[in-house]
């Protein structure tokens, strides 16, 4: 190759480079992943301050790229979140060839940012070596690359890169202002308090008058305000059924029911099923068939099973499974639960 090879420009394809080190190791800069290739003949990792190394990592995260530094002191490989790897502590025989592939003359420095399609997105070629630090050059590269239209990024990659780049810029700004004394900001004002409302709840035959947040769920009101902790909080998204209670005779997810909307109707929780020491038939069937393991989902399972046992239209095991499908048992006690519901229906 001619020693006067033209320099690779923005928008052109980056050459593939394979460096061969000791013990048969090879370092390939040919992947389809974005990369930064820095020819910095006087650069050494020990010469970088720890905060600058952190900044370099932040900029690599913003670019979504791996950094390769080719120096007279060796070759380093950087990733945003991995340890810095020193590929070799001596100058590979083909390092000068690698520079010529990029159009970098021997003894000169340059930095190239290459995207996932192998196109050069940014170049920096100082006339007298890297007068600026590698961190400052990557800062400039990150700003310019993200500011341009995403030639080769898909929408997901562009959103992630933009968000991470913004966070990296904020992190670097905080690092640079570490030693400056800025006036303290006024503390943020707390949001205005929500006025509580009066509610009257009829639970397990008892009337409870109280003030609640209009946004409070029936589940939190039962557990936190009334101490009825038999109703369990599982997912808090209406998907596991652990918080099932009866409202107006129908099983509902208490986590999705506002306490303010449960007024004027009868509410039954797991604490309201037994009569003193006499278990409800469904509770007795669960004990008889050992239809529980850890027991966390059992209150919700029983409350749903009470409704299924009372429904004459449910006659088969498949129908029982369908009606109980909203209650999840992570222990896997489903066969015994079905048997318990079947027994309770017969006794009902």
- Residue 219 banded pLDDT, cuts 50, 70, 90: very high
The yes-or-no verdict on residue 314 having pLDDT over 90 is yes
The yes-or-no verdict on residue 283 having pLDDT over 90 is yes
- Residue 149 banded pLDDT, cuts 50, 70, 90: very low
Secondary-structure class of domain 197-272 per CATH: alpha beta
Residue 90 DSSP symbol: S
User: How many angstroms separate the CA atoms of 203 and 9, rounded?
Assistant: 75
Q: What is the pLDDT of residue 177?
A: 56
In this prediction, residues 109-136 reach a mean pLDDT of: 80
In this prediction, residues 227-245 reach a mean pLDDT of: 95
The yes-or-no verdict on residue 340 having pLDDT over 90 is yes
Residues 6+ away with beta carbon under 8 Å from 57: 78, 80, 81
Q: Strand runs (DSSP E) across the chain, as ranges?
A: 17-20, 26-29, 35-39, 66-71, 74-78, 85-88, 110-114, 120-124, 197-203, 206-212, 244-247, 250-253, 266-268
Reference 14, options 128, 120, 164; nearest CA is: 120
The yes-or-no verdict on residue 51 having pLDDT over 90 is no
Q: What is the pLDDT of residue 288?
A: 96
Question: Domain segments of the chain: what residues?
Answer: 17-176, 197-272, 281-347
The yes-or-no verdict on residue 151 having pLDDT over 60 is no
| Better-predicted residue by pLDDT, 41 or 32 | 41
- Per-residue model confidence as pLDDT tens digits over 244-257: 999 999 999 999 99
- Per-residue model confidence as pLDDT tens digits over 184-204: 667 777 777 789 999 999 999
The yes-or-no verdict on residue 152 having pLDDT over 50 is no
The yes-or-no verdict on residue 227 having pLDDT over 50 is yes
At residue 29, the 3 state secondary structure works out as: strand
The fourth-level CATH superfamily of domain 281-347 is [2Fe-2S]-binding domain (1.10.150.120)
How many secondary structure helices (H) and strands (E) does the chain include? 9, 13
**Percentage, residues of the chain above pLDDT 90:** 43
pLDDT averaged over the chain?
84
- Per-residue model confidence as pLDDT tens digits over 73-91: 888 888 877 778 887 766 6
Helices (H), 190-292: 218-220, 281-288
User: How many angstroms separate the CA atoms of 256 and 37, rounded?
Assistant: 54
The yes-or-no verdict on residue 322 having pLDDT over 90 is yes
Under CATH, what is the fold of the domain 17-176? Glutaredoxin (3.40.30)
Beta bridge partners of 286: none
**Percentage, residues of the chain above pLDDT 70:** 84
Residues 6+ away with beta carbon under 8 Å from 166: none
> Using CB atoms within 10 A of its CB, is residue 37 exposed (0-12), middle (13-18) or buried (19+)?
buried
Q: What is the pLDDT of residue 217?
A: 96
Cβ–Cβ under 8 Å, residues 245 and 267: yes
Beta bridge partners of 138: none
User: How many angstroms separate the CA atoms of 265 and 48, rounded?
Assistant: 70
Cβ–Cβ under 8 Å, residues 197 and 260: yes
In this prediction, residues 229-235 reach a mean pLDDT of: 96
User: How many angstroms separate the CA atoms of 69 and 38, rounded?
Assistant: 5
Beta bridge partners of 70: 39, 75
Among the ranges given (120-124, 168-172, 239-243, 280-284), the one the predictor scored with the smallest mean pLDDT? 168-172
């Amino acid at each position: 190759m001619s020693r006067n090879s033209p320099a690779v420009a923005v928008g052109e394809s980056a050459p593939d480079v394979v460096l061969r080190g000791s013990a048969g190791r090879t370092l390939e800069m040919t992947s389809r992943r974005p990369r930064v290739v820095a020819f910095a003949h006087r650069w050494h990792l020990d010469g970088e301050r720890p905060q600058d190394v952190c900044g370099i990592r932040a900029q690599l995260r913003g670019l979504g790229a791996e950094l390769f530094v080719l120096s007279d002191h060796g070759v380093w490989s950087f990733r945003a979140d991995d340890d810095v790897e020193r590929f070799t502590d001596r100058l590979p025989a083909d390092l000068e060839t690698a520079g010529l592939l990029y159009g970098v003359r021997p003894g000169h420095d340059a930095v190239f940012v290459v995207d996932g399609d192998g196109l050069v997105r940014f170049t920096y070629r100082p006339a007298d070596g890297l007068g600026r630090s590698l961190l400052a050059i990557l800062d400039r590269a990150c700003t310019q690359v993200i500011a341009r239209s995403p030639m080769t990024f898909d929408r997901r990659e562009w959103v992630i890169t933009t968000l991470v780049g913004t966070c990296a810029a904020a992190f670097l700004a905080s690092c640079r202002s570490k030693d400056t004394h800025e006036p303290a900001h006024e503390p943020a004002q707390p949001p205005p308090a929500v006025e509580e409302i009066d509610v009257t709840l009829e639970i397990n035959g008892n009337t409870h008058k109280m003030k609640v947040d209009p946004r409070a769920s029936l589940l939190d009101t039962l557990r936190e305000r009334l101490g009825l902790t038999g109703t369990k909080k599982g997912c808090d998204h209406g998907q596991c059924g652990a918080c099932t209670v009866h409202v107006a005779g129908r099983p509902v997810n208490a986590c999705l029911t506002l306490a303010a909307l449960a007024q004027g109707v009868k509410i039954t929780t797991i604490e309201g099923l037994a009569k003193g020491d006499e278990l409800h038939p469904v509770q007795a069937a669960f004990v008889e068939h050992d239809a529980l393991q850890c027991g966390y989902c059992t209150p919700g399972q029983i409350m749903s099973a009470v409704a299924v046992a009372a429904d004459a239209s449910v006659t088969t095991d498949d129908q029982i499974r369908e009606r109980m499908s909203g209650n999840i048992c992570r222990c896997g006690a489903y066969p015994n639960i079905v048997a318990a519901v079947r027994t309770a229906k017969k006794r009902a």
